[in-house]
Structure 1
Amino acid sequence: MSFLHPTLTPINARRLQNFKANRRGYLSFWIFMILFGLSLFAEFIANDKPIIVSYKGEILVPVLVDYPEEKFLGELGFLAVTDYRSEEIVSEIDANGWMIWPPIRYSYQTPNSNIPKSAPTAPWWLMAEDEVCAGYAQGLADPACRLGNLNWLGTDDQARDVLARVIYGFRISVLFGLSLTLLSAVVGVAAGAVQGYFGGTIDLLMQRFIEIWSSMPVLYILMIMAAILPSGFFVLLGILLLFSWTGFVGIVRAEFLRARNFEYVRAARALGVGNGTIMWRHVLPNAMVATLTFLPFILSGSISTLTSLDFLGFGLPPGSPSLGELVGQAKENLQAPWLGFTAFFTLSFMLSLLIFVGEAVRDAFDPRKTFQ
């Protein structure tokens, strides 16, 4: 069978073939992975520091190392971290070397102090020709007005570049969603496995606990806890983990309840194999099939939850590159429609890709297609 990959079992090769057969999901997977991979190197794409600087024969990497201003201006430099956008630094480096800048010369927190109007400002391609370089020397030939210094998606209400914040916000949203999904899967799968395998009193008590836990007003509790505890990535991750793990319990519990009385499980018990080994090596692989089909959908839900909390002001710390904060800015600045359009299209495109990938994964693990 030529379609089989040499390192895959026949069933997994069939699943891979089914995944690729869903063209929309397969293409969405690669688009999402390319965008996520690029966002991991956001500092090399959007930054207010050069990637490489050659100064007096020495090669410097400001994107990775913070150099004091004294290194370039001598005793006249007093800043602990060099501002490479200042005229003095630019002139000094140009006179004694060269710089390679990222395509976008703004980080997610870099304000544009040369905008022609009060923030938020429109994308440069929507401005009048005489406003594009306002605040700079006129003409695109001037270094200060090159494409890297222009705001392709405009600025927010604090004059920060929207495109840079979208790139960084995409990265932190996906990393947060992946972390929450994987941790929730570990806790939820473990709880569901214990319930389904042992059954009886353990299953009854844990099921009543989960029913009570799931009936609590999660959003209000999250808002209260986020307001009390210090804001931060890991604090918010821990708070959301308290309630997100229950989504995995039901499907894993059902698989373990179904499989615990199979002949191969009974045979393993008769041979003296321990419960932990049976659960890990014999039952869990079958239960993970159903779990894997839910992962892309739960990932999209985790990203939506983070966006919602950021929109309400109970998410990441102020100033963090957040898509939810961009939605909030769009609500507060209706005269700046580019903020709303950017937030809408970014979130809808990202979540649509994940849903399409989830549909392809579901088709890949569908037993009716795998064993036909």
Structure 2
Amino acid sequence: MNEIARPAEAVPVPAPPPLAPVVRGLSPLNRRRLSNFRRNRLGFWSFVVFVGLFGLSLFAESIANDRPLVVSYKGEILFPVLIDYPDEKFGGFYARPNYRSAETRKEIADHGWAVWPPIPYSYDTIIDGLPTPSPSPPTWMLTDEQCQAAAKQNGAATTGREGCEGLEMHWLGTDNTTRDVLARVIYGFRISVLFGLILALVSSVIGVIAGAVQGYFGGWVDLSLQRFIEVWSGIPTLYLIIIISAFIAPGFFVLLGILLLFSWVALVGVVRAEFLRARNFEYVRAARALGLSNIRIMSRHLLPNAMVATLTFMPFILNGSIGTLTSLDFLGFGLPPGSASLGELLAQGKDNIQAPWLGLTGFFVVAVMLSLLIFAGEAVRDAFDPRKTFK
């Protein structure tokens, strides 16, 4: 008798593991580059410190200003740092109130209160009642005897304070026109970095476009543009600025435009070489065979490869742009007189050897700023280098 075949018992099959979530954003290659950048501790922390200092300088008006941040006057909340109020609002008759004057301070104190910035001076504030002739040393370097006369003049006798305790602090002293050096350093740092960023970004865009056109098309286009760049880069920029400054008052955008005429050639050679190398690759030929336009091939298939070399040069271009503005200000062909400038601070240090805090302050600020950029630039360069690894 044949046995009836029984169905085999079902063996439980384990459930498949859940699929890992797809992380949208950086590609694996860019994540590796970012990881290498973070592992370079010197470069990474230099970048963090530089960005932090630049971020603070963007709020310079809230850190160093000769206007109060907030004023409560006769039951009304005012914001002098943001809004220009007429002097008649505080009982005066001038167009703009002088918040540092004794009359305005007394009027506000009698009818309310005021919150001042940590540094109660702007970059162009003329300070009266200094204990010594300008340039005056930092307040912490003065003796009580030097401060006593100025402290009494500023009301220390009525408040019970004597010596330097009755004076407002000038942590880095004042320059030869009685302006606070620390306030000028904060504003000068901001304007130097902003000038360098704008110049580096705009000149890089123009240089990348010019280098891409040369490298992709080649032939007579490459040859003619290369000869033009050789002639154009031979024009002396400093002499041109001196000539133009005789007709036009030098300013932020005037200097930016003049330097932009010549700084764009810095990246042309690098981008041109990348496009010359990659224009005959198989994927580029395939894109041409599919009928893609030249602009699409250049922007979607060739430009990403050239951007690696471009990004590694960007911190050094920014460094050079800041150094150029500082040098022009030092020579007297930069920003207008009175502007917050690190180069002008260095020039004052040269002209006032008896006031070493001017030259030393300018030197250390410029040296630290450029050193941070150099360290960050080297970290970016190493992060994009596939042969570099960090533990």
Shorter-chain TM-score: which interval? over 0.9
From 68, 86, 91, the counterpart of 2:101: 86
Change (3 A) 1:230 1:28: same
From 291, 295, 298, the counterpart of 1:276: 295
- 1:40 counterpart = 2:55: no
| Structure with larger Rg | 2
Change (3 A) 1:322 1:144: farther
From 231, 246, 250, the counterpart of 2:250: 231
1:219-254 Cα deviation digits (max 9, x unpaired): 222222233322211111000001100001000000
Paired letter, 2:242: M
Structure 1 counterpart of 2:81 = 63
1:260-318 Cα deviation digits (max 9, x unpaired): 11111110100000000111111111101100001111101100100111111111111
From 175, 182, 193, the counterpart of 1:163: 182
How far 1:146 sits from its partner (Å)?
6.7
Q: Distance in 2 between matches of 1:255 and 1:144?
A: 66
Q: Distance in 1 between matches of 2:208 and 2:124?
A: 39
Q: Distance in 2 between matches of 1:236 and 1:92?
A: 43
How far 1:183 sits from its partner (Å)?
0.6
Structure 2 counterpart of 1:120 = 135
Structure 2 counterpart of 1:219 = 238
Further displaced range: 210-219 or 94-103: 210-219
Change (3 A) 1:294 1:147: farther
Alpha-carbon contact 1:106-1:149 (below 8 Å) kept: no
Q: Distance in 2 between matches of 1:165 and 1:235?
A: 22
Q: Distance in 2 between matches of 1:109 and 1:142?
A: 28
How far 1:5 sits from its partner (Å)?
7.2
1:62-107 Cα deviation digits (max 9, x unpaired): 001111110011xxx1111111111111111111111000000000
Structure 2 counterpart of 1:53 = 71
Matches within 5 A, 1:170-185: 170-185=189-204
How far 1:6 sits from its partner (Å)?
5.4
Alpha-carbon contact 1:32-1:353 (below 8 Å) kept: yes
Alpha-carbon contact 1:68-1:81 (below 8 Å) kept: yes
Alpha-carbon contact 1:68-1:80 (below 8 Å) kept: yes
Structure 2 counterpart of 1:101 = 116
Alpha-carbon contact 2:156-2:166 (below 8 Å) kept: no
How far 1:212 sits from its partner (Å)?
1.1
1:87-140 Cα deviation digits (max 9, x unpaired): 111111111111000000000000111112211010001111232352423378
- Aligned-pair RMSD on alpha carbons? 2.1
Alpha-carbon contact 1:32-1:350 (below 8 Å) kept: yes
Paired letter, 2:288: R
- Per the normalisation by structure 1, the TM-score is 0.94
- 1:29 counterpart = 2:47: yes
Q: How many residues align?
A: 366
- 1:344 counterpart = 2:358: no
Structure 2 counterpart of 1:319 = 338
Q: Distance in 2 between matches of 1:338 and 1:347?
A: 14
Alpha-carbon contact 1:16-1:364 (below 8 Å) kept: yes
Alpha-carbon contact 2:144-2:163 (below 8 Å) kept: no
Alpha-carbon contact 2:144-2:164 (below 8 Å) kept: no
Percent of aligned pairs with the same residue?
A: 65
TM superposition outliers: structure 1 runs of 4+ over 6 Å: 143-148
Paired letter, 1:149: E
- 1:296 counterpart = 2:315: yes
How far 1:144 sits from its partner (Å)?
12
The 3-state SS of whatever aligns with 2:171 is: coil
Structure 1 counterpart of 2:228 = 209
1:41-77 Cα deviation digits (max 9, x unpaired): 000000000000011111100001111110011xxx1
Q: Distance in 2 between matches of 1:331 and 1:25?
A: 32
Further displaced range: 48-57 or 135-144: 135-144
1:160-199 Cα deviation digits (max 9, x unpaired): 0000000000000000000000010011111000000000
The 3-state SS of whatever aligns with 1:197 is: helix
Change (3 A) 1:262 1:217: same
- 1:191 counterpart = 2:206: no
Structure 2 counterpart of 1:13 = 31
The 3-state SS of whatever aligns with 1:53 is: strand
Further displaced range: 208-217 or 269-278: 208-217
Alpha-carbon contact 1:103-1:148 (below 8 Å) kept: no
Change (3 A) 1:44 1:257: same
Structure 1 counterpart of 2:10 = none
Q: Distance in 2 between matches of 1:218 and 1:161?
A: 33
The 3-state SS of whatever aligns with 2:72 is: strand
Alpha-carbon contact 2:156-2:162 (below 8 Å) kept: no
